[in-house]
Structures are given as structure tokens and as C-alpha cells.
Amino acid sequence: MDLKLRRFRDSDNERLTELCNNKNIWDNLRDCIPYPYTSKDGAGFIALCQTEDPQTTFAIEFNGEFVGTIGLVRQSDIYSLTAEIGYWIGEPYWGLGIATNAVNQIVTYGFIHLNLVRIYAGVFESNKASQKVLEKAGFKLDCIFEKSVCKNGNICNEWRFSVIKK
């Protein structure tokens, strides 16, 4: 599979906006991601990612095309060796193994280059595809937070997965 994680380029904005402006994607993301998603939103996101040092948010490139994003949010204080992972793949690329491959790559990056010990993800209970991605990438289900998420006016459970550095 020709897949790599790379820095964002200004030229990614058109495709980023096109792919992210999709309610099927937004329904599985946090509300801090706007919907509808505009070119201005994309430009601001790309500019923010380009300032990261160390880099923690990446464009996912598959067969030379921008197809999604993935990142790690390092936690603070006593959780400083832990990060939360977040990602999305454009709908035309679902089911191709891209997300699992990207998760494996960023986990390796986080453990080696960021010296993380633990990486976790919170997934809406209804997002079975993302749960499978994490399981295929070696994440284990830690717990289920009952009625902890409100998305689109619906209260639902969050499934919390993690992987530990070996």
C-alpha cells in the first residue's frame, strides 16, 4: 500500500475541504470540527498544523492523493506521556485499509519520536468501523463511558481504546 503521513501543504486545502465537508464524516467527529466545512476552515487548520513543533498532525496521502488527516493530542501534567489519537478518512476511501495503516504509522511515530507510553482513542458507540480499525492496529478496549457523549442531540456511549508501548 502506497500510504504515507506527511506535513500539510497549502495545496491540500481544496481536497481537504471537499472531503471534510461531508456529514457522514462529521457525524463521527467532535463538534469543534465545523460543518459545513469551508475553504476558510481548511486554510486555518492547515496553517495551524504547519506551525506544530514537534509535528503531531499529519495529512494522509494514499497513492499520491490527500485522503484524510490523523493526529496525536499530547496530554499534560501527570498524563504527559499519553496522547489521544484522532483521524478521519474521506468517504471515497473507506474500506481500503487506509485508516488502519495510518493508525499503525502514527502509533510508531508517537512511541519513537514523541516518547509516548500510551495512546488512546474515544469512539462513538455507533462507529463500528473505527472500533475495528483500532482493534486491527492493536488497541484494546479499556472501558465504555456510559451516556458520556452528546452528538447531534443524541446522548450515547463512548468506547475508549488504548495501546501501550512495548
Whether residue 93 is contained in a domain is answered as yes
Output the nine-digit C-alpha cell for 93.
476511501
CATH of the domain at 79: 3.40.630.30
**Strand, coil or helix: what is 46?**
helix
The answer to whether 135 touches 128, Cβ cutoff 8 Å, is no
Residue 48 lies in a domain: yes
**Residue 37 included in any domain:** yes
pLDDT in tens, the chain (166 residues): 899 999 999 999 999 999 999 999 999 999 999 999 999 999 999 999 999 999 999 999 999 999 999 999 999 999 999 999 999 999 999 999 999 999 999 999 999 999 999 999 999 999 999 999 999 999 999 999 999 999 999 999 999 999 999 9
Helices (H), the chain: 13-20, 23-26, 39-50, 98-113, 128-136
Based on the structure, what is the number of domains in the chain? Answer: 1
Domain-embedded: residue 146: no
d(CA 122, CA 143) in angstroms, rounded, equals: 10
What is this structure's pTM?
A: 0.96
d(CA 112, CA 2): 22
Residue 134 lies in a domain: no
> What is the Cα–Cα distance from 152 to 156, expressed in whole angstroms?
10
Q: Does 161 map to a domain?
A: no
Beta bridge partners of 74: 83
Q: Which helix (H) or strand (E) holds 59?
A: strand 57-62
The domain in which residue 24 lies consists of 3-119
**Is 60 contained in some domain?**
yes
Domain membership flag for residue 156: no
- Residue in the block written with cell 446522548: 155
> Residue 1's pLDDT is what?
80
And the C-alpha cell for 20?
A: 471534510
Q: What is the pLDDT of residue 49?
A: 98
